[in-house]
Every structure is written in structure tokens, then in C-alpha cells.
Amino acid sequence: MQLSLAWSAWRHSPVAAEYGHLPAGLSHFEIGRFDLYRVNPPLVRLVAAIPPFGQDPKTDWQHYSNDPLVRSEWGVGRIF
């Protein structure tokens, strides 16, 4: 039983990239810019952010930067 739970937790848990995608999708709605996670097209992030956006998530944009050389989605994602 415990082995099954451990396997399921490992298999179905969020991956490292998801911590950047969701706050990036929220930023597209809240800020109206596509700077976060700009290395991929925004459609999937926008669709994934619809359910949490409807629940008024608390997002701290302190680590947000529109500098093209800075990948600030990771800092925003850790806080989120």
C-alpha cells in the first residue's frame, strides 16, 4: 500500500517546469504582458491559468522583470 502511494505521488506530482508556467499564465491575464516564460508560446499557459484566475489568486510580482536576459518566472513561481 505505501509503495503504491509513494509511486503515485512521484508519478502524478507537478514537475519543475509547472512552477513557472502557472504564474506566467496568471501574469498574462493580470499584467497583460507576455514577458514571463517567453521561451514558449503562451496559449497553454493562458488556458491553464483560467481556473485559478477565477479564484482571485494572491500573486506577488516582486521578482517580475521584463528584462529579456532574466528568467524571472522561477522567482515568481517559487513565491506563488
3-class secondary-structure state, position 24: helix
- Taking only the tens place, the pLDDT of each residue in 61-71 is 888 888 888 88
Residue spans of the domains in the chain: they are 15-79
Identify whether the C-beta of residue 77 lies closer than 8 Å to the C-beta of residue 58: no
- Taking only the tens place, the pLDDT of each residue in 1-44 is 788 888 887 777 777 777 888 899 999 998 899 989 888 899 98
CA 11 from centroid of its chain's CA atoms: 19
What whole-number distance in Å separates Cα of residue 47 and Cα of residue 71?
21
Q: What is the phi/psi pair of residue 15, to 5°?
A: -95, 170
- Which pLDDT band holds residue 59 (cuts at 50, 70, 90)? confident
What whole-number distance in Å separates Cα of residue 75 and Cα of residue 53?
19
- Which pLDDT band holds residue 54 (cuts at 50, 70, 90)? confident
